[in-house]
Amino acid sequence: METVIIKSKDPVSLKTGFYNIKLDLTDRKNVLEKCDQFFGSNSIHTIFFLNAHCFNIAQKNDDYSRAINNSDLLLNDGIGIKIASLLSGIRLKENLNGTDLIPEILVLAAEKKKKIFLLGGANGIAERAAGKIKEMIPRAEITGYHSGYFSEKEEKKVLEKVNSCRSELLVLGMGVPRQELWAIKNKSKLTGTKIIIGGGAILDFISGNVKRAPLWMRKMNIEWVYRLINEPGRLWRRYVIGNALFLYHIIRLKLI
């Protein structure tokens, strides 16, 4: 992977009203510069992503809506958000999906010698993802990992493990909205963490448990079609019904 070079001392990110969500109008370069600032700060920051599925959840889950609206960075992900932005007259700079961006943040963490913790996925997924990251980024310092399947009673032990590993970058792969709600609930209990990033299926992708779409589909922002073809039983409701619901919400909010 390429080394990330930070040049600007004052990265620009502009919160804008995207229907009833506060979205950051920014690009990859500025996100990485923001992360560099976050790593050097004395506080903890959250980075989340907004795609059509997330937007739908935000319309019915007030806690989740507050979580993403109060994040330090909320980044546009996918063709649905792009289409909705055109309908509202908002010009997005580029697609900022987590599957492509999070590996670049991992490179930055390695360059800055920041410790990384992976939290999410089924048993063994985070461990396999850690191994793959070390292959891709030999200098990455992954100090810990844990499955995303744990009970509320086990939560205290998970937090203690993250803290004992002195991890400064916490990558969550626990799915929406659980990962965002977990981050907001627990960020005050994390002692050394500087960045929490919600990555959805990122650990499944990195570990190789789930294959990504061909590059041409990714460039056309139709990776969701590939996922639907490969996992129709699990994803048909999210993409077929969900896309129609997303269009309904966009039209409804535009008419308000």
Which pLDDT score, from 0 to 100, does residue 219 have?
A: 85
Which pLDDT score, from 0 to 100, does residue 241 have?
A: 95
Task: Give the model confidence (pLDDT) of 122-156 as tens digits.
Answer: 999 999 999 999 999 999 999 999 999 999 899 99
Q: What 3-state DSSP class applies to 145?
A: strand
Q: Residue range 218-238: average pLDDT? A: 88
Which pLDDT score, from 0 to 100, does residue 8 have?
A: 42
Answer yes or no: is pLDDT of 3 > 80. no
Confidence of residue 103 (pLDDT cuts 50, 70, 90): very high
The rounded distance, in Å, linking the Cα atoms of 65 and 63 is: 5
Q: What 3-state DSSP class applies to 86?
A: helix
Residues contacting residue 15 through CB under 8 Å, at least 6 positions apart: 22, 23, 24, 25
The rounded distance, in Å, linking the Cα atoms of 72 and 15 is: 10
The rounded distance, in Å, linking the Cα atoms of 235 and 88 is: 28
Residues contacting residue 28 through CB under 8 Å, at least 6 positions apart: 94, 96, 101, 104
Answer yes or no: is pLDDT of 96 > 80. yes
Task: Give the model confidence (pLDDT) of 156-191 as tens digits.
Answer: 999 999 999 999 999 999 999 999 999 999 999 999
Q: Residue range 103-107: average pLDDT? A: 98
Show me where the domains of the chain are located.
26-207
Which pLDDT score, from 0 to 100, does residue 7 have?
A: 45
Q: Which CATH class is domain 26-207?
A: alpha beta
Q: What is the 3 state secondary structure string of 215-237?
A: HHHHHCCCHHHHHHHHCHHHHHH
The rounded distance, in Å, linking the Cα atoms of 100 and 78 is: 12
Segments in 40-78 forming alpha helices (H)? 52-60, 62-69
Q: What are phi and psi of 20, to 5 degrees?
A: -110, 25
Q: Residue range 34-38: average pLDDT? A: 97
Confidence of residue 249 (pLDDT cuts 50, 70, 90): very high
Which pLDDT score, from 0 to 100, does residue 221 have?
A: 80
Tokens of 85: 């932005």
Task: Spell out the long-range contacts of 160-164 with Cβ–Cβ below 8 A and sequence spacing 24 or more.
Answer: 162/117, 162/119, 162/190, 162/193, 163/189, 163/190, 163/191, 163/192
Instruction: Give the predicted TM-score (pTM) of the model.
Output: 0.92
Count of H-run helices and E-run strands, the chain = 13, 8
Residues contacting residue 39 through CB under 8 Å, at least 6 positions apart: 108, 109, 112, 114, 168, 169, 194, 195
Task: Give the model confidence (pLDDT) of 205-224 as tens digits.
Answer: 999 999 988 999 888 888 88
Confidence of residue 256 (pLDDT cuts 50, 70, 90): confident
DSSP tag of 121: S
Between helices 52-60 and 79-88, what is the axis angle to 10°? 70
Which pLDDT score, from 0 to 100, does residue 12 have?
A: 60
Which pLDDT score, from 0 to 100, does residue 247 have?
A: 95
Task: Give the model confidence (pLDDT) of 45-83 as tens digits.
Answer: 999 999 999 999 999 999 999 999 999 999 999 999 999
Percent of the chain with pLDDT over 70: 95
Is 116 within 8 Å of 142 (Cβ atoms)? yes
